[in-house]
Structures are given as structure tokens and as C-alpha cells.
Structure 1
Amino acid sequence: MEITNRNLKEYLKRLVRSTIFWTIAMLLFSIFRYFALKNEIGISIDPNYEGFYQLKDSLLNFALGGFLIGILYANIEFLIDKFIAQRSALVLIILFEILLTFTAIITVSNLVLSWWVKNKNIPYVVEPGWWYKDSSFIPALIYIGISIVIYSLITIVFEKFGRGVFFKMLIGSYKQPQETKRIFMFLDLTSSTTIAERLGHQKYSQFIQDFFYDLNEIAAPYEAEIYQYIGDEAVLSWSYKKGVYKNNCLNLFYAFKKKIASKSKFYLDKYDIIPEFKAGIHGGSLMVAEVGVVKKELAYHGDVINTTARVQAKCNDYRVSILTTKSLLNNLDIEGRFIASIVAKVVLKGKEKPVQLYTLTII
């Protein structure tokens, strides 16, 4: 039930994002269209309909149209992302989204226009294929197609840098290092060398692709950002507030286990292996800065990153699948949800003070 609710939450976020974008996009189209029509040679507008109220009506109508397009597009995007996106090239996904959106808009426009003509007694005949004969409808579709491409590119940027980060990069907030507080998880595939030797490099690469694709499906509902992929290891990150909220940083790990278990037949049929993984989790204050010129990205620097990597490495030593530090555990609400067992108090490589490590069992 929890995963279903989180998927619903992710869908609603897409819906809000899509409706806002398309409402704004169609408002802009309305403005361009209104002033273009007034200045187009050969077009005359009845003086009774000129002025502010005509523009206001145009804005309201196109805003409503944009809102409805946003609802349609959010559903199309969500379904494509869930069932098609895994093995399709980005350009094919965008073209498919454009095709489905056009089909939906034309279908809905046919229904609305037919109803409007019939119920308002408008002396207009709705002929088959009216939309491609209409000189104003085709430019609208072209505009919508371009908007889909722009929306897709914006979404890619947001997915790479995280929500809110892109705007801060635009205004140069990270040109100078800033202190932030985050939680990191280093998640590593178990026995990767043995698996790679058994499968061969080509099939192993496909195996890693499938493994990380399943991880991505789990990351979004639990507010996680994928910071890096390093070979067979993924580094996930949360703002500290989002990571501790409803134990997101722990629940993701067990949700991913459940996801892999539900796909065990798929992995056995395709690779004859069910992937297993281990994770180290830790959080605290560190620095973030924009690095690079040709390939810009955000980089985190500080003891938190190094400690999390060392914690994950200790999973093999103590033969457990998850380890976290006491400092992070103290900020999580695990009562009635997890059982925490102390594993060791160790001095991690590169540190002077001992760190208490805990493993967890879900109740």
C-alpha cells in the first residue's frame, strides 16, 4: 500500500508540473496569436470585439485549454515512463509523446466542436479531417510539438540536477561553495566480479542496466536523487529533511529489495541470477559547489561522503546488507518500524574517532 501511495504522489507531482507548464505555454500562445491576428494582412476584426475583453477572453480560453492539455500530457508521460521508456531512445519517446498528444487533442477537439455546434445551433459543418484543413489549428499543433520537446529537455535537466537545483545554478548560487546538510546512500551490487565473469561483459552490462532501471523506479517515490553511478555502485542522496521524513532513506532500501524480489522470475529467466545488494547510509553537513566548464555538475565535498563509502565497505566485514551510523539513526523515527542492532564501534579508515555502526531489520 505504501508503494502504491507513493506512486500516486509521484503521479500527482507530474500532474501539477504538467498543468502549470501547459497553462503557461498556451497563455503565451494566446498572446502571440491575439496580436498576430490584429496585424495580419487580410484579416479584419469586428470593432465590437476588439480591446481588452477580447484579449481577456482569449487568455481564459487558452488557459483552460492548456490546463486540459496538461492533464492529458501528464497521463501520457506517466504511462510511457512506466511501460515504454526503459528500452527506447529518448528521441523515440519524445516523438511517441507528440503523436499520442496530437491524437488526444484532435479526438477531444472533435468531440467538443461537435457538441458545441449541435447544442449552440452554430451554422457550421464538422467535416472529417477538418483539423488539417484549418489554417489556425495546424500552427497550434506545431507549437504544442515544440513545447513537448522543450518540456522534455527541462525534465531531463531537473532529473540530472534535482528539483530546485537547476534554478540555483542559473543564478550562479553554486559558483562559490555552499554548506548543505544531506544524507547519502552508497548502494553496491553484491558479488559483482563473480557475476561479471559468469555473464560476460556484454550481458553483464545489460544486467546492470536493468538493475539500475529498477532502482530509478524506486528512487522518485522516496524523494531520492541519483548523485552518481560508479561501475556497479549507485550513490543516492537526499536533503536531510527529506531523507529522515517517514524514514525515506531506510524505506527506499527495503522497497528496492521488494522490487527485486517481485522481479525474481525476470532476472532468473534472463540472467539466471537474482541481484543482491548492500548499502551504507550516513548524513551530515558538507560543501556543495558547481564544478567543470565543458561538463558542469554539482559536486559534494566533505567527510560525509567519505564516511558513507567506508560504512558501506564494512557490510562485507560484518556480513550484513545494510549499515548506518548512530548519528543518523538518532534522527530517524524507527520505533515500531525497524529493529536496530549495534554491529560494531570502529575507527573507519581516515578517521580518528570511532563510529558506531548499526544494522536494521524491518518489522
Structure 2
Amino acid sequence: MLKFNKNSRKVIIDFFIIIAIWISAVFIWDILTSFNPKIEGEIPKHISVAEINKLNLVLAGLFLGSIFGILNVFIKNKQERLRKKSYGRIIFFYSIIHIILTIVTIFLVGIASQLILKGEISRETLQEIRMFVKSSDFFRIVTFTYLVSATIILFQIINQKFGPGVLLDLLLGKYRQPKEVKMVFLFMDLKSSTTYAEKLGHVKYSQLIQDCFSDLTLAVNEFDANIYQYIGDEVVLIWPYNDGIKNAKCIKIFFRFKEYLQKRSDHYMNSYGFLPQFKAGVNGGTLMAAEVGVIKRSIAYHGDVINTASRIQGLCNSFNEEFLASKLIVTDLAFYNSFNYSFIDNIELKGKKEKVDIYAIKQ
């Protein structure tokens, strides 16, 4: 029996969503243009030209969706390599690939349609397809499909920029008025960052941070985290509270990130002379979420919860620990007790009147 992890399921879901979008797009094209290709030769009497047209539209949607769905998966798998390429070069090569795939799709639709209707492919059919590729209709189709494809990619880029689900919340105005939400916040910061920055210089140090956060992305996807902020060499990850606590995601992600760094230890040692290490602090609770900004909009969180998480992470050096958590998190994680929690101290954090119980977390 085949088993799929969450990343695999997400890829499959995205794949079928893209197919559905393309099927919808080709029917919209049909409505806008009333495009009815000329049907040559005899066709079965019980099938009308309109039905053949619908068959061609469905086939076009399926083929376009499948082909560009596979291309989308390929692009996602090559994100790290593509990130280092200029947008101009990416757009140029994508345009060429798009035209090639569109031609391939037209041939596939024509061949599949003939096989379904007549059970064979004639030379005349192939010649008609070749002639169609040279016609003005073909160039209109290429333009339309390119716009659809570009819109899908643009939406994905914007969604990636804001974080999964945030773009939809902004479009729907979900947080136009501040709302109470319960969230988990995990702050992670590079250890000895000042020393490393002085040793490497700003160019090499920036490359180090890029590499680290690229490896972090693997863990983020695995444990369904959202990246709230990058702040220099620090990153803030968030979950809805129950999601972050479930299966100890907000804890496991840190140690999985360490594993990914360790797997690439040769790269880090050869490139920078050391294996980067991070420290972390986690806290959760109820706070306010609101859409902020005019020129640049985003969803921001306001409240003591996020400040406390930041302060807890800041105590890692003082107690010589790599991962600290508040009592609330440790208590709610008791059901998923796969880690070692040790009480550190009852601390008065800066800016807080009440002391907070701090725990160290180890594997």
C-alpha cells in the first residue's frame, strides 16, 4: 500500500488544482471566442459537432493541466537552483518551454480526439494539426494559455511571498478589523552571529544566512509552519495554536532543522569553516491579529505572547541552552512527551510584571 507524507499529498493536491484551473480556463476561452474547430471527414452520427468541441476542450484542459502541473512540480523541486537565476532568464526560458508544451498539447489533443472518435489516426489529421499550428488561431491560443500560466505562477509567487494562506486572508479582508487568535510563536536565531559576521564579512555571511534558511524551508514544509518574519539572522515561525502543539510540531521542527544542517555539514565546513548552530524559544497564547500597512500590507500580531517568545529565546545564552520554552507550551505538550523537559527557573522577563517559568527542551 502506497504511503504519502504531507509534502507528497500537498504536491498531489496542487497538481489536481492546476488541472481543474486549466479545464476551467479552456471553457472560458471557448465562451470568449466561440471557437469551433473545423471537423474534417466522417464522424459518428450519434455525436454532434458541439459534443466533439466539448471533448476537445476537456482533453485540452486535461493535457494542459497535466503537462503544466508536472512543470510546476519540477519548478518547485528546483527552487533552490532557480533562486540564483535572474528573473529575466527564467521568464525567457519559461516562455520557450511554454510554446513547446502548447504545441505538444495541440498534437496530443488532436490525436486523442481522433482515436476516441474514429479509433485511428490518419495522415490528413496530422496535416490538419500542422496547418493549425501555423494559423492565427494557434497564436491566439498560445497568448491566452501563456496569460493563464503566468497568472498561476504569479499567484504562487505572491502566495510564497506572504506565506501560505495569508494572501487569501488579505483578499478576503479577514483581518481588516483586529481579531483575537491563539497562536504558537517559535523564534530561532543563529548562535554567535556577531562573531561569524566579523569572521566571514558581510557578503559571505549573507550567503550563509541564505543557505541556512533554505535548509529551514524543508523543515517548514514538513511541519506545516508559516514563516512570519525574517529579521536579519533570526526567523519567526508561527502556527495556529492547536496545529503547532499537535504532535509537538513546534518542537520537532527545530531538531529536524538541525538534522538538515548536519546533513549538509560538508558544504558548510567547506564554504564557511563551521557548522551553523541555532538557538530557539517558543511560547503561545491569545493575541490580536490585524491587517496593517498602506503601501505594503501584511498581517501583524500584537500582544504579550510574541514578546515573551522573543525574550525566552534571548535567554538561551544565559543558561547555555539551545532551546527554551514557556510552561504553557510544555504543559500542553505533555500528551506528546517525546522530548526531555527540564525546569530552568522562574524568570522575570524584561517588560513583564509576572515571572515566567522557563523549561529547557532536549531530544
Q: State if a TM-score over 0.5 links the two structures.
A: yes
Q: Give the secondary structure class of the aligned counterpart of 1:270.
A: helix
Match of 1:82 in 2: 77
The total of aligned residue pairs comes to 349
For the Cα contact (< 8 Å) 2:63–2:109, is it kept in 1? no
Alpha-carbon shift at residue 257 of structure 1 (Å) = 0.8
Please state if 1:161 is matched with 2:156: no
Q: Give the secondary structure class of the aligned counterpart of 1:351.
A: coil
For the Cα contact (< 8 Å) 1:77–1:97, is it kept in 2? no
Change (3 A) 1:113 1:165: same
Within a 5 Å distance, the mapping from 1:129-168 to structure 2 comes to 132-168=133-169
Alpha-carbon separation, structure 2, partners of 1:9 and 1:121: 37
Q: Give the secondary structure class of the aligned counterpart of 1:295.
A: coil
Alpha-carbon separation, structure 2, partners of 1:130 and 1:248: 57
Alpha-carbon separation, structure 1, partners of 2:306 and 2:337: 29
Q: Give the secondary structure class of the aligned counterpart of 2:176.
A: coil
Q: Give the secondary structure class of the aligned counterpart of 2:189.
A: strand
Alpha-carbon shift at residue 36 of structure 1 (Å) = 5.5
| Greater mean deviation of Cα atoms: 326-335 or 139-148 | 326-335
| Greater mean deviation of Cα atoms: 16-25 or 311-320 | 16-25
Letter aligned with residue 15 of structure 1 = F
Match of 1:194 in 2: 195
Please state if 1:31 is matched with 2:31: yes
Aligned-pair identity in percent equals 34
Alpha-carbon separation, structure 2, partners of 1:335 and 1:238: 17
For the Cα contact (< 8 Å) 1:325–1:356, is it kept in 2? yes
| Greater mean deviation of Cα atoms: 307-316 or 116-125 | 116-125
For the Cα contact (< 8 Å) 2:290–2:300, is it kept in 1? yes
| Greater mean deviation of Cα atoms: 19-28 or 308-317 | 19-28
Alpha-carbon separation, structure 2, partners of 1:231 and 1:225: 17
| Greater mean deviation of Cα atoms: 247-256 or 92-101 | 92-101
Per-residue Cα deviation, 1:42-76 (whole angstroms, up to 9, x for no partner): x99xxx9xxxx866664554244324423322322
Alpha-carbon shift at residue 256 of structure 1 (Å) = 0.9
Letter aligned with residue 190 of structure 2 = L
Alpha-carbon shift at residue 279 of structure 1 (Å) = 0.9
Q: Give the secondary structure class of the aligned counterpart of 1:136.
A: helix
For the Cα contact (< 8 Å) 2:346–2:358, is it kept in 1? yes
One of 61, 68, 73 as aligned partner of 1:73: 68
Change (3 A) 1:114 1:55: closer
For the Cα contact (< 8 Å) 2:56–2:113, is it kept in 1? no
Match of 1:239 in 2: 240
For the Cα contact (< 8 Å) 2:110–2:125, is it kept in 1? no
Q: Give the secondary structure class of the aligned counterpart of 1:126.
A: helix
Match of 1:9 in 2: 9
Change (3 A) 1:37 1:287: same
Alpha-carbon separation, structure 1, partners of 2:10 and 2:316: 32
Per-residue Cα deviation, 1:123-181 (whole angstroms, up to 9, x for no partner): 61525965631443332222221112211221122223344432332243322211111
Change (3 A) 1:137 1:334: farther
Within a 5 Å distance, the mapping from 1:232-311 to structure 2 comes to 232-311=233-312
Alpha-carbon shift at residue 251 of structure 1 (Å) = 1.8
Unpaired runs of at least 5, structure 1:
none
Change (3 A) 1:141 1:117: same
Change (3 A) 1:264 1:146: same
Letter aligned with residue 262 of structure 1 = K
| Greater mean deviation of Cα atoms: 275-284 or 343-352 | 343-352
Per-residue Cα deviation, 1:253-310 (whole angstroms, up to 9, x for no partner): 1111111111111111222221110111111111111111111111111011100100
Alpha-carbon shift at residue 339 of structure 1 (Å) = 2.0
One of 107, 110, 129 as aligned partner of 1:110: 107
Match of 1:18 in 2: 18
Letter aligned with residue 27 of structure 1 = F
Alpha-carbon shift at residue 332 of structure 1 (Å) = 2.6
RMSD: 3.0
Alpha-carbon separation, structure 2, partners of 1:121 and 1:254: 58
Change (3 A) 1:203 1:164: closer
Q: Give the secondary structure class of the aligned counterpart of 1:328.
A: helix
Alpha-carbon separation, structure 1, partners of 2:51 and 2:111: 25
| Greater mean deviation of Cα atoms: 81-90 or 115-124 | 115-124
Match of 1:126 in 2: 126
Alpha-carbon separation, structure 2, partners of 1:59 and 1:91: 37
Letter aligned with residue 350 of structure 1 = G
Letter aligned with residue 157 of structure 2 = I
Alpha-carbon shift at residue 92 of structure 1 (Å) = 3.6
For the Cα contact (< 8 Å) 1:94–1:149, is it kept in 2? no
Alpha-carbon separation, structure 1, partners of 2:132 and 2:55: 22
Letter aligned with residue 27 of structure 2 = L
Alpha-carbon separation, structure 2, partners of 1:97 and 1:222: 31
